[in-house]
Structure 1
């Protein structure tokens, strides 16, 4: 948000600093989430490179192994080690997918990531995680205290019964007697301001 834009809207100079500071504070949360996502992406790329290097070692050993017992043992050892990296890689992928779904509204993403039941999420033949949305949605429902409420953004709520404070004179004129009576009982101050 630029100061010139606010000045163009006729906002007083003393309010511009407050608006700019508030705007920067609201963006800080998203910058932190973006940095966290970049960090996870970097870890994922590193894990993928390690797995690729291990696979290349195993392939090279298979080609040169033949009947040599020592090389076959080395090959078995590297395959077991590679299986561990593969599990780490899948776990990191799962964590990243869960973080994508919770990052925007979790109060503490790391805490939610530790508590969520990742064992209920399965991996299909194509490498996709099955049931992840259901698990995350269920977790959010069961643990609403770990998530912040979605903040309203954009335009205000629509005018009318749900938001009587936004009723204009034109809306009031179009209202039925029942709606006017309801407005009078719920918000007599607004009703009187619209009548006069």
Structure 2
């Protein structure tokens, strides 16, 4: 879905903007999920490739049993560390996605610029996957003179003026008292009758 396709359907600019905002709200969580799953998949592929290569190398370098056991223990430690690194990377992707989504929902005009002003050390995901530590920072940024311009404002003065009301051509309420309309009077006069 893009603005040009919506314009071709006959929507005006405000309708297109509203539609794209709603579309973004539905699409952003799905993008976050795809990013998260892609990161998990790539980490798993890398781990499988590493383990397979290590096992192949062990078979080639098969030494005495004590040396083999020591090598296997080293590989187990390396694999455990690789799992921890993959989990940390996935957690960071989830944290970044949740932060970007929260910034968009809070009215940030440029998520990258606002992210640069955040103290990322205080941002955490709780057990349920909810972002904590962002609300106070956003409030401070929205109130500070040097950063409040990075957010949409709800000030009515910032809104576009109301568009004029357009009425159909002619006089839609020609005779509010319910008498004979001007059209009827003209038709009668042309017919030679008097009203």
Q: What is the TM-score with the length of structure 1 in the denominator?
A: 0.49
Radius of gyration: which is bigger?
2
Bigger helix share: 1
Q: What is the TM-score with the length of structure 2 in the denominator?
A: 0.50
Higher RCO, 1 vs 2 (CA within 8 Å, ≥6 residues apart): 2
